Amino acid sequence: MNIKTANQKQQKQALIANTALKMFAETNFYDISINSIAAASGVAKGTVFNYFKTKENIFMHLLLVGYQDFFTQTISQFNENKITDLNGLKDFLLSNTEDLIDNHLTLIKLNVLRGPILEGKASMEETIQGRKYLYQIHERLATDIHNSFAEISVAMANKIFIVQSSIVSGLINLSDLDSFNQQPINNDLSDFTVSIKDDALTTFDCYLTGLFLKLKES
Amino acid sequence: MNIKTANQKQQKQALIANTALKMFAETNFYDISINSIAAASGVAKGTVFNYFKTKENIFMHLLLVGYQDFFTQTISQFNENKITDLNGLKDFLLSNTEDLIDNHLTLIKLNVLRGPILEGKASMEETIQGRKYLYQIHERLATDIHNSFAEISVAMANKIFIVQSSIVSGLINLSDLDSFNQQPINNDLSDFTVSIKDDALTTFDCYLTGLFLKLKES
Amino acid sequence: MNIKTANQKQQKQALIANTALKMFAETNFYDISINSIAAASGVAKGTVFNYFKTKENIFMHLLLVGYQDFFTQTISQFNENKITDLNGLKDFLLSNTEDLIDNHLTLIKLNVLRGPILEGKASMEETIQGRKYLYQIHERLATDIHNSFAEISVAMANKIFIVQSSIVSGLINLSDLDSFNQQPINNDLSDFTVSIKDDALTTFDCYLTGLFLKLKES
Amino acid sequence: MNIKTANQKQQKQALIANTALKMFAETNFYDISINSIAAASGVAKGTVFNYFKTKENIFMHLLLVGYQDFFTQTISQFNENKITDLNGLKDFLLSNTEDLIDNHLTLIKLNVLRGPILEGKASMEETIQGRKYLYQIHERLATDIHNSFAEISVAMANKIFIVQSSIVSGLINLSDLDSFNQQPINNDLSDFTVSIKDDALTTFDCYLTGLFLKLKES
DNA sequence: GATGAATGAGGATTCATTCAT
DNA sequence: GATGAATGAATCCTCATTCAT
């Protein structure tokens, strides 16, 4: 049969997108060619363009769907956990951050591309639609938190996750200061060695501590 | 005179580099061509290559020299200020961050390029030399802080500035979530509006508050 | 049809390669641009690179395939001719040389590029594979000669053809001594006028005469 | 004193030219830049152009002067040797060839450039003048040989040296068939291993044997 | 829907040559 | 005569995208 069901279509699209995601984990956007994505996916170059109008659309899609999934999962986990105090919330947010770093680091890296690179050539209509859906999920997560913690406004809850991503994203950019092109610089540079996970958790912890302190004081 | 003094040569190099920096404030690295840098600098394409071996070297140079200048200036300001308590230190660091954002934002944006893009083609020798010099300055700043605040180790002082850059860098990546390609999305997205300066200062403030709190507790 | 058969692909590859070969008959390697090859072939620049990874690969391909064809044809001709004595062999080799000069002169000229220019950028794997195949053919020709003339070892037969190419190649390099950039120098320079064909045949004839004489003596 | 004597000028010209010659012994013409010649000579780039109008002129100069010297020396050696018979002449020519290979191989390599590369951009006037002078020397050598061996015409004597260069030049082009870009190919390729000196001497020997045999027969 | 051949704009980089000092 | 900064033409090669089959 030549007419694929919607499901089959989605599967091939997902195959291509996930291949691109894996490649992006190890390679720079500009060093990933449509050719290599097609080859690694086991499809023809033209097929890639059947599923994504442009190269940028692939990565915009990954960014949107990835974050949608991540926050959907975060909502579930938050609601399962029946957290009652701010300390519990902080623990939850830190463990959520650990999950983000362990399992969705490329998602964070995609953020760097979004504004300066992807938006220039990604489909505006699709992107905005995807982004609105993402914001709905994000807003729902924030609302759930607000419903459990009246002192945390929805806006503040949203901002907490923006800061979460920012810290991880920023530390990625500042990592590898003690090496050049993967080759370690011989000097002792322990003061400039960034461990993304340790440093992100510590930084986010301090941030939340300070934030909740101010909350109580006001 | 065709035999330029070292100073004259440095001036022309600075002219080219600064032109590139201005362009980078508004344009993506891959959308800046050597051609356009040359044209904007008012020199021939070949002249650019007389001063920088590769395109990547231009931006690596900007990154290193920019940070060297920023931290040198920070050292002066710190020592002028005769800060005596942690609150004063926090104020100093926040005002320093404001300066960073107001006057050196492209510097932070350059960090994104460093690992994945610049190091692949920048001169390793020059870069490592420049980086070692930068680390010396950084370390000196950290030491000066440690000398004034015994409870802040040199390592911690260094880390504070890494976190400072990370937060600003990360928020840049997360900014403009309420628009697409500079065009605002019509919905009300105030919860997803990032003000780099406000959010960076708030985030860094909370972080420092939490950090200094832990410091006192321990 | 957009899925070309292997044969169709070979034809287009041959079209590009043969265009390059014709250009090389009249122009120096460095004055032949990919642009001009594409234009002369009636295809786009990118198409040339679809068939050959580098400019050097085009000419390496021509060299290998050209010699493979020439020696394959030489084998056929040798076996058709039922040569019985050394004089007959000499006549055969001289007539073979005439054919080489009349119909495959650019092949000889390509030898100059091989070591110093082509090998630096041509695909090593493809080249070695092509060269091994060429050597097999060459060896087969030498073996056939040895089978007819026990006194001529396989090694010697191989060397005869290397000398054949060398003499023609060398005389090409020494030709046009009586002109400058195709413009004749007015003096009488008949002593320095090289006729590639006449001189190559005479030289090869003398060489073979001397070689076979030594053969009989030993 | 700012006005250099003719001798001083010649010395600097010779310095630049000889540096270029040494570089050409190991590097392809197109991989030798004026910049590198200037640097290796210890002079400025502009100075090179004070002594040679174009890059091609440098190598044309080397070719002409090199051959002038070689044949001048050959004349002396011939006249010192008082050769009386053809066997003695053959020995002289072979020993002369050995000298050519051992001490002037780059001269032979320059021949390859002459027609296709140098003449296009070398000064015609200078070249023709240099070439006429070279032909006079060449002719004198041929005449001296003819005066000792009446059966060898001046034209034939001239041709012998053209063939000498051709054989060496051709074998250079055919050498290194058993390696790729200086890396040996692992197969046993002894039949395709060219020893420039051995093979050139053998080939030239056979050629002379055959030539002198025909001479006697006629 | 899948394919992959063809396209050609675009970019980094090289280098001989000029010429003001 | 020496210098070396400036020039810009020229070249190879990449790669997203199109589209006929």
Which of the four pLDDT bands, split at 50, 70 and 90, describes residue D47? very high
Chain D positions touching C211 (Cβ under 8 A) are: 206, 210
CB contact under 8 A, D167 and C162: no
Chain D 147-166, CB below 8 Å of chain C: which residues? 154-155, 158-159, 162-163, 165-166
With a cut of 90, say whether residue D55 has pLDDT above it: yes
Q: What's the average model confidence in pLDDT over B94-111? A: 96
Q: Report the Cα C105 to chain-centroid distance in Å.
A: 6
Q: Strand, coil or helix: what is C43?
A: coil
Q: Which of residues 176-215 of B touch A (CB under 8 A)?
A: 176-177, 180-181, 183, 185, 187, 189-192, 194, 199, 203, 205-211, 213-214
- 10-residue mean pLDDT series, chain C (218 residues): 75 96 94 95 95 96 97 97 95 98 96 91 92 96 97 97 97 91 80 94 98 91
Q: What pLDDT sits at residue C45?
A: 95
Alpha helices in A27-123 (DSSP H): 34-41, 45-51, 55-81, 86-103, 105-113, 119-121
Question: Does pLDDT of D2 surpass 50?
Answer: no
For residue C1, what pLDDT is reported?
45
Interchain CB contact of B5 with A (< 8 Å) = no
pLDDT band with cut points at 50, 70 and 90 for residue B2: low
What pLDDT was estimated at residue A1? 32
Could you say which of A111, A191, A205 has the minimum Cβ distance to residue B173?
A111
Distance, in Å, from the CA atom of D169 to the CA atom of D185, rounded to the nearest integer, reads 23
Is a pLDDT exceeding 80 seen at residue D117? yes
- Is pLDDT of D8 > 80? no
The answer on pLDDT for A2 being more than 70 is no
**Residue B121: predicted pLDDT:** 92
Domains (ranges, CATH) in chain C? 1-52 (1.10.10.60), 54-217 (1.10.357.10)
DSSP string, D89-111: HHHHHHHHHHHHHHH-HHHHHHH
Q: How does strand D179-180 pair with strand B183-184?
A: unpaired
pLDDT(D38) > 50: yes
What is the least distance, in Å, from the CA of A35 to any CA of chain B? 19
Which three-class secondary structure state does DSSP give residue B184?
Answer: strand
Q: Looking at residue C4, what is its pLDDT?
A: 74
pLDDT at D3: 43
- Average confidence (pLDDT) over D26-49: 94
Across B86-113, average pLDDT: 96
- Give the pLDDT band (50/70/90) at residue B9: confident
Band the pLDDT of B218: cuts 50, 70, 90: confident
Q: Measured between alpha carbons, how far is C156 from C162 in angstroms, rounded to an integer?
A: 10
Whether residue A3 is predicted with pLDDT greater than 60 in this model: the reply is: no
Mean pLDDT for the stretch of residues A10-20: 93
Whole-number distance in Å between D30 CA and E18 C1': 21
- Residues of chain D in contact with residue C208, where contact means CB-CB under 8 angstroms, are 206, 210
pLDDT of residue A4: 47
End-to-end CA distance of chain B: 65
pLDDT at C6: 76
**For range D199-205, the mean pLDDT:** 98
Distance CA D168, CA C169 (A): 10
β-bridge mates for residue B183, sequence order:
B180
- Say if residue D16's pLDDT is above 60: yes
Q: How confident is the model over D25-38, as a mean pLDDT?
A: 94
Residue C183: the pLDDT is 83
pLDDT of residue D5: 53
pLDDT for A6 equals: 60
Q: Is the pLDDT of residue A160 over 90?
A: yes
